[in-house]
């Protein structure tokens, strides 16, 4: 058939070149003869240098560049057959090792579906003259194009054969989830090859495999969560009526969001269905992530974010502005005023009567207007640091604004006001570089242009006497190569090898936590954790840098009280994805604990909130603070919809959980962005901002881990320098008043 098409094509081309005899039949006949003579000419395929050439027939010549399938397709299917065979093997073990009907039904479905898929793959290969078998599992491991991701080892299979009842159920699910996830990884590897899955039947098969395996992973994770002994697992969903689990803490109060800071028609912030032309799409069973991503979601207009404290004042930030509370003697906040000033993300700090607020979104206006900015480049747009006068807590006033090239995701109060009356702030912008038409000094990612706003932080001065004169005074390139001066001198992006996380290029810091009295700062900066010397606050110097193969996005840092340890967090999934599932690695989306030895960061351990969570719960490490207890290192931390968790890292090589609180997911079918943004200890209580629900207050309870004396001493802690204040990215050493006998 290809030869006929080939001849007809040349006939048409040659015929079209004869403009004088378009209708001359004899001419066409002559041309056919000429075409046949041309097709009989030799077609040569040269060999490698020094090797003989070989002659091809026309069909062989055209098949060399054929697009029906590529070798990677063959490798994939041969490997997937072996992969599926192991899944069948594991499923067959269930009949004699468990009476859990849910597991038996699951194993039966896997057995049937994998057999059917093997039949398809074998027939596809055989119909194309390809071998359907691999010589050995080892051959597959060594093959340069494909690896058998997710395959259970011989030791794991031996353990599975030896287990029974619930032990078998848990191990079977863990291994099978890893197995299915490995299949999806193999698909991703296949898609890296040009021309893959061009064949329509193979493309359809792979699409169905992706969806079916994804749905089955979610189903198995749900079963595995139900088998967990942790009381936080499988809590009832709801907004204000979700199930709760608590240990060694007391929930003092839960405050709903103030009026004007949530949508009364959609308080959960749920998405709405897109208009789809093809109604059949709704008939297909999809993963929770697929269903969630297919909806139209409101922007994070009302999301609660970070907090700051001064004396008995609590300020809770939001994408919509901020709320000011007075903390009563019983620890319960009372709302004083609400300030509407949209733009996100709304992280806040307090210095005296000055409130500093980070703003990053492009919709933000200089005048705090609600209508947004429609033009691509506009003097009305604001991205940077807002400065408010809060001397009148009932009527805060914007008194300054510093525009920055990448906005402000977070900021850190480094010092001040000093004798010169100035506050020094480090600004961390993580968004794209704004257009030069909007801000002339902003240069994007232009090769060879060292003026770029990337690979830098901003040092900002705020004169307390005249905040309107606040400005950027320098933008040091803290990531530059110390020898060459190249700006991109740290992690360049990518992963660290097989079975490691892909991590963004280090061209910004998400958080820089400063410890001014110790002259050090810790930066959580995309692909790196960094230790800085800030003796000269205007010129921070990098003194050590680390990476972690399990980290996806270095998010935040916290020192212990004496500045000899630092906790880095990994916001794997960006806070919007389920990352505490039963099968997720415990060193992904976790804390990494380092000791500081001779100004070097020495890794000690990882810690992750241990309770498995559902696919409907965004869960990953987020903001926390120390609980100040003498001779102990205790950390309270938000985990989004994983709740809050208290970690004892006194032994930095052996951290352990000592208390927790958690609610069920906001929704039972969709992943709705929610949970705790921040959890901080302040003046005897733990305060936690809930993204959708509001503000929670907790007390510590005596336990085997913390005595009543420990709790009392924590409440008596006071700053050894400066005013009574707590800012998220600023640490002040604490001391303790003498306990009364």
- The CA distance from 615 to 672, in Å, is 10
- The yes-or-no verdict on residue 37 having pLDDT over 70 is no
Please state, in angstroms and as integers, the Cα–Cα distance from residue 523 to each residue in 324, 425, 540, following that order.
29, 14, 11
- Global pTM? 0.86
- The yes-or-no verdict on residue 71 having pLDDT over 90 is no
Q: What is the pLDDT of residue 254?
A: 98
The pair of structure tokens assigned to 715 is: 């409440």
With bands split at pLDDT 50, 70 and 90, how would you rate the model's confidence at 145? very low
Let me know the angle formed at the C-alpha of 287 by 286 and 292, rounded to the nearest 5 degrees. Answer: 95
Q: What is the pLDDT of residue 559?
A: 98
Give 496's contacts (C-beta < 8 A, 6+ positions apart). 503, 547, 549
Residue whose pair of structure tokens reads 């004699």 in the numeric block: 96
With bands split at pLDDT 50, 70 and 90, how would you rate the model's confidence at 143? very low
Please state, in angstroms and as integers, the Cα–Cα distance from residue 734 to each residue in 489, 562, 737, following that order.
36, 9, 10
- The yes-or-no verdict on residue 32 having pLDDT over 60 is no
Other C-beta atoms lying within 10 Å of the C-beta of residue 185 = 16
Q: Locate all alpha helices (DSSP H) within 427-555, ordered by sequence.
A: none
- The CA distance from 515 to 426, in Å, is 13
Q: What is the pLDDT of residue 215?
A: 92
**What backbone torsions phi and psi does residue 521 show, to the nearest 5 degrees?**
-145, 150
Contact (Cβ atoms closer than 8 angstroms) between residue 243 and residue 185: no
The pair of structure tokens assigned to 96 is: 């004699």
**Prior bond of 204 cis (ω within 30°):** no
The DSSP secondary-structure symbol of 516 reads: G
Q: Taking residues 135-149, report their average pLDDT.
A: 48
- The CA distance from 523 to 509, in Å, is 6
E strands, 608-693, are 624-629, 632-638, 644-648, 656-663, 676-682, 685-690
Q: What is the pLDDT of residue 371?
A: 85
The β-bridge partners of 546 are 529
**What backbone torsions phi and psi does residue 361 show, to the nearest 5 degrees?**
-70, 145
Q: Kindly report the length of the chain.
A: 741
The pair of structure tokens assigned to 158 is: 């031996």
Percent of the chain whose pLDDT exceeds 90:
73
- The CA distance from 440 to 691, in Å, is 36
**371-375, 570-574, 652-656, 677-681: which has the minimum mean pLDDT?**
371-375
With bands split at pLDDT 50, 70 and 90, how would you rate the model's confidence at 39? low
Let me know the angle formed at the C-alpha of 529 by 526 and 531, rounded to the nearest 5 degrees. Answer: 135
Other C-beta atoms lying within 10 Å of the C-beta of residue 252 = 15
**302-311, 329-338, 416-425: which has the minimum mean pLDDT?**
416-425
What pLDDT digit, counting tens, does each position of 711-731 carry?
A: 999 999 999 988 999 999 999
Other C-beta atoms lying within 10 Å of the C-beta of residue 508 = 22
- The CA distance from 642 to 549, in Å, is 23
- The CA distance from 323 to 329, in Å, is 19
**127-131, 457-461, 660-664, 672-676: which has the minimum mean pLDDT?**
127-131
Residue whose pair of structure tokens reads 């004892």 in the numeric block: 648
**What backbone torsions phi and psi does residue 662 show, to the nearest 5 degrees?**
-150, 150
- The yes-or-no verdict on residue 4 having pLDDT over 70 is no
What pLDDT digit, counting tens, does each position of 479-514 carry?
A: 999 888 899 999 999 999 877 888 999 999 999 999
Contact (Cβ atoms closer than 8 angstroms) between residue 527 and residue 554: yes
Distance from the Cα of residue 26 to its chain's centroid = 71
Give 478's contacts (C-beta < 8 A, 6+ positions apart). 455, 456, 457, 509, 523, 530, 532, 540, 542
Indicate the Cα dihedral angle 648, 311, 702, 580, nearest 10°.
-40
With bands split at pLDDT 50, 70 and 90, how would you rate the model's confidence at 31? low
**Prior bond of 417 cis (ω within 30°):** yes
- The yes-or-no verdict on residue 10 having pLDDT over 50 is no
- The yes-or-no verdict on residue 471 having pLDDT over 70 is yes
Give 228's contacts (C-beta < 8 A, 6+ positions apart). 234, 582, 611, 612
Q: Of 683, 692, 680, which is closest to residue 638 (Cα–Cα)?
A: 680
């Amino acid at each position: 058939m290809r030869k006929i098409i080939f001849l007809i094509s040349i006939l048409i081309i040659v015929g079209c070149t004869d403009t004088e005899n378009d209708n001359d039949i004899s001419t066409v006949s002559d041309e056919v003869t000429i075409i046949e003579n041309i097709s009989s000419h030799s077609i040569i395929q040269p060999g490698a240098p020094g090797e003989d050439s070989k002659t091809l027939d026309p069909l062989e010549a055209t098949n060399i560049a054929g697009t029906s399938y590529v070798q990677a397709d063959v490798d994939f299917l041969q490997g997937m057959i072996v992969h599926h065979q192991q899944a069948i093997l594991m499923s067959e073990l269930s009949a004699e090792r468990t009476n859990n009907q849910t597991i038996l039904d699951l194993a039966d479905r896997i057995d049937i579906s994998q057999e059917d898929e093997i039949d398809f793959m074998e027939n596809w290969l055989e119909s194309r003259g390809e071998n359907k078998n691999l010589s050995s599992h080892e051959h597959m491991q060594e093959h340069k194009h494909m690896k058998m991701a997710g395959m259970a080892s011989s030791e794991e299979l031996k353990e599975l054969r030896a287990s029974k009842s619930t032990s078998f159920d848990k191990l079977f699910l863990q291994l099978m989830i890893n197995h299915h996830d490995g299949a999806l990884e193999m698909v991703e590897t296949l898609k890296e090859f040009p021309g893959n899955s061009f064949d329509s039947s193979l493309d359809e098969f792979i699409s169905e495999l992706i969806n079916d395996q994804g749905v089955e992973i979610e189903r198995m994770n749900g079963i595995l969560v139900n088998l967990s002994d942790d009381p936080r697992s499988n809590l009832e969903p709801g907004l204000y009526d979700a199930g709760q689990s608590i240990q060694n803490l007391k929930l003092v109060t839960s405050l709903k969001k103030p009026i004007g800071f949530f949508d009364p028609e959609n308080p959960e912030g749920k998405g709405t269905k897109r208009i789809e032309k093809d109604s059949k799409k709704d008939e297909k069973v999809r993963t929770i992530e697929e269903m969630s991503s297919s909806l139209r979601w409101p922007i994070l207009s009302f999301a609660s974010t970070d907090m700051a404290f001064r004396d008995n004042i609590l300020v809770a930030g939001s994408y919509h502005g901020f709320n000011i509370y007075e903390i009563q003697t019983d620890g319960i906040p009372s709302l004083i005023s609400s300030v509407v000033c949209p733009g996100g993300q709304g992280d806040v700090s307090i210095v005296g009567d000055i409130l500093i607020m980070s703003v990053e979104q492009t919709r933000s206006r200089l005048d705090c207007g609600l209508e947004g900015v429609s033009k691509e480049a506009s003097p009305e747009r604001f991205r940077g640091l807002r400065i408010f006068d809060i001397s009148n807590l009932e009527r805060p006033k914007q008194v300054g604004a510093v525009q920055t090239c990448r906005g402000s995701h977070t900021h850190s109060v480094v010092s001040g006001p000093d004798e010169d009356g100035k506050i020094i702030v480090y600004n961390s912008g993580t968004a794209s570089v704004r257009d030069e038409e909007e801000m002339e000094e902003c240069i994007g990612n232009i090769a060879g242009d060292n003026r770029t706003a990337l690979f830098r932080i901003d040092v900002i001065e705020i004169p307390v006497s005249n905040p309107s004169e606040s400005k950027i005074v320098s933008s040091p390139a803290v990531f530059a190569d110390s020898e060459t001066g190249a700006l991109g001198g740290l992690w360049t992006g990518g992963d660290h090898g097989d079975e490691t996380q892909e991590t963004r290029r280090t061209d910004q810091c998400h958080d820089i936590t400063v410890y001014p009295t110790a002259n050090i700062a810790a930066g959580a900066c995309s692909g790196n954790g960094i230790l800085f010397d800030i003796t000269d606050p205007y010129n921070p110097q990098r003194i050590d840098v680390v990476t972690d193969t399990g980290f996806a996005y270095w998010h935040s840092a916290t020192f212990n009280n004496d500045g000899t340890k630092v906790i880095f967090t990994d916001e794997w999934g960006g806070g919007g994805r389920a990352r505490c599932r039963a099968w997720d690695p415990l060193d992904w989306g976790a804390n990494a604990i380092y000791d500081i030895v001779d100004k070097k960061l020495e890794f000690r351990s990882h810690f992750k909130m241990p309770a498995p969570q559902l696919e409907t719960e965004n869960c990953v490490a987020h903001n926390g603070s120390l609980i100040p207890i003498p001779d102990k290192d205790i950390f309270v931390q938000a985990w989004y919809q994983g709740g809050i968790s208290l970690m004892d890292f006194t032994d930095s090589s052996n951290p352990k959980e000592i208390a927790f609180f958690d609610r069920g997911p906001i929704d039972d079918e969709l992943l709705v962005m929610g949970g705790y943004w921040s959890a901080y200890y302040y003046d005897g209580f733990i305060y936690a901002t809930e993204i959708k629900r509001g503000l929670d207050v907790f007390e510590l309870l005596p336990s085997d881990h913390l005595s009543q004396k420990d709790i009392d001493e924590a409440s008596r802690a006071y700053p050894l320098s400066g005013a009574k204040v707590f800012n998220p990215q600023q640490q002040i050493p604490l001391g303790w008043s003498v306990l009364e006998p």
